[in-house]
Chains A and B, each alone.
Chain A
């Protein structure tokens, strides 16, 4: 469905994409993962013909993407990371405008505008977009991207700017439309990706460090981990130098381990010696986020 073939892109002397190739198949939710500045937006803009690749080719449904006004965009819906709409229009008017721009008949665009407003959970009223919250704008963004029923929906960080409720709603919407269109979405929030993606690819240092089915990646890279939570920040500071292979966030330590019993014993011994109070200790399986951190660190 989408072939990305040996794409290179430099900005000045900085190489953002270095020989990127991947195939994305129909009916999937594909997660493009990476840190901020990894090149996710650049790759998406190349797929949309908004940026020119230095080398390589992107084909959507067999047709090559051209820089500028590319005909492949009739198959693509796009939600930018910070979508800007006309603040003086209502959501319904904006959807009718988008429908007319893509050449839909009046009857069809009226019907679709109403349908997609309902799908993304926006009310059909006279409220202007200027007064919308971020979450509402993001939902309108999805609705406008779907109005011409594209084969592919490209969303750039659709959940990143939202609060937890907004994020959950956005993920639900993406799951709902999976049957209508192939979804490509970029994010640095890996728990979101783990929840809904069929396949993911990690973009790091200009290349895909890891790609494939989420379940396969987890099966291959998943390790048991110990998650230790100590009671106070002071305790965490004391424990930090003793756990060299752990990742820390606040008072929580995540420790990958091949031999759980041995690691557990070491931790307990150190805690007794240093008089550190443990609040909880759990054995878990590593998540996509843990795998990603490991890939970056290696």
Chain B
């Protein structure tokens, strides 16, 4: 227990003092604030530059547009920044040899993996939830009478994808000593997922659904029961990534 708390404190100091918290929070909050604002004001702004008949043809923005912007921003830029921030958390330590001293003091390698992964997941969760609250507040403010359906499910799916990405990153960190190795690994996994989603039979199980169907969920086209298969496979993959990372890391020389 001592070791876990020591590692968490260390991760936090690293995250805070190396400005990673600042970068992650700033980017996420800018994305969060801009989502409802873009939805609300973009037609007006464009209207100033475009001919009147074109501008009038824009549909009136709705709460859906606000959330659509949010999902677009977070499934692309948001996740990419998350990968940049946590993509080298362990490989950096392996490169610089900073783990040699703690490991010779009896630090368990399993704790190292689990704490690193859990820490990135907690940070993702906290900042993601705060961002969702920001978007929610603005959306309610601008469109008080409109209501989207299954908001929690829709937001939950993207959150789970972030957790899956964190698991892929920790495995990549064990497999590769460099950040680019991990980055390529993560991109490779993403490509594989896209390919899987092309097959009609496997389509329902592809994790890409977690970040591609959020808007449809809001329109009530999918409900929780449609995702049982994906939720199970995602959870299995998250656990498998961790087990594999632990087994491999325990065999690595330092």
Give me the interface of A with B, judged by CB distance under 8 Å: 48, 50-51, 68-69, 71, 73-74, 76, 78, 80, 82-86, 88-89, 93, 97-98, 100-104, 144, 148
Contacts and interface: CB of A to CB of B under 8 A. Distances in A.
Contact of B107 (A51, A83, A85, A101): A101
Interface string B177-207: 0000000000000000000000000000000
A148 B100 contact: no
B105 A88 contact: no
Contacts of B50: none
Nearest to B17: A88
Given A86-B10, A101-B102, A144-B101, 18 more contacts: A50-B104, A50-B253, A50-B254, A68-B250, A83-B100, A84-B98, A86-B13, A88-B13, A88-B17, A97-B9, A97-B102, A98-B101, A98-B105, A100-B3, A100-B5, A100-B6, A101-B106, A101-B107
Contacts of A93: 13
Contact of B6 (A48, A51, A83, A97): A97
Q: Which of B5, B103, B105, B254 has most A Cβ within 10 Å?
A: B105
6 smallest beta-carbon distances between A and B, as pairs: A100-B6, A88-B17, A84-B97, A78-B104, A84-B98, A101-B107
B225 interface: no
B6 to A, nearest CB: 4
A103 B106 CA distance: 9
Contacts of B96: 84
Given A84-B96, A84-B100, A85-B98, A102 B106 contact: yes
A173 to B, nearest CB: 18
Contact of A103 (B2, B9, B101, B103): B2
Interface in B9-30: 9-10, 13-14, 17-18
Contacts of B10: 86, 89, 97
Given A50-B104, A86-B14, A101 B2 contact: yes
Interface residues of B, number: 26
A185 to B, nearest CB: 16
A84 B102 CA distance: 11
A74 B253 CA distance: 20
A98 B14 contact: no
B228 interface: no
A73 B2 contact: no
A89 B104 contact: no
Consensus secondary structure, chain B interface: helix
B233 interface: no
Nearest to B100: A80
B109 interface: yes
Nearest to A52: B253
B108 interface: yes
Given A88-B13, A93-B13, A100-B2, A83 B101 contact: yes
Nearest to B96: A84
A48 B14 CA distance: 28
17 contacts: A50-B104, A50-B254, A69-B103, A69-B109, A71-B106, A83-B100, A84-B97, A84-B101, A85-B98, A86-B13, A88-B14, A97-B9, A97-B102, A98-B102, A100-B6, A103-B2, A144-B101
Given A88-B13, A100-B6, A101-B3, A69 B106 contact: yes
B105 A69 contact: no
Nearest to B6: A100
Nearest to B104: A78
Nearest to B1: A103
Contacts of B109: 69
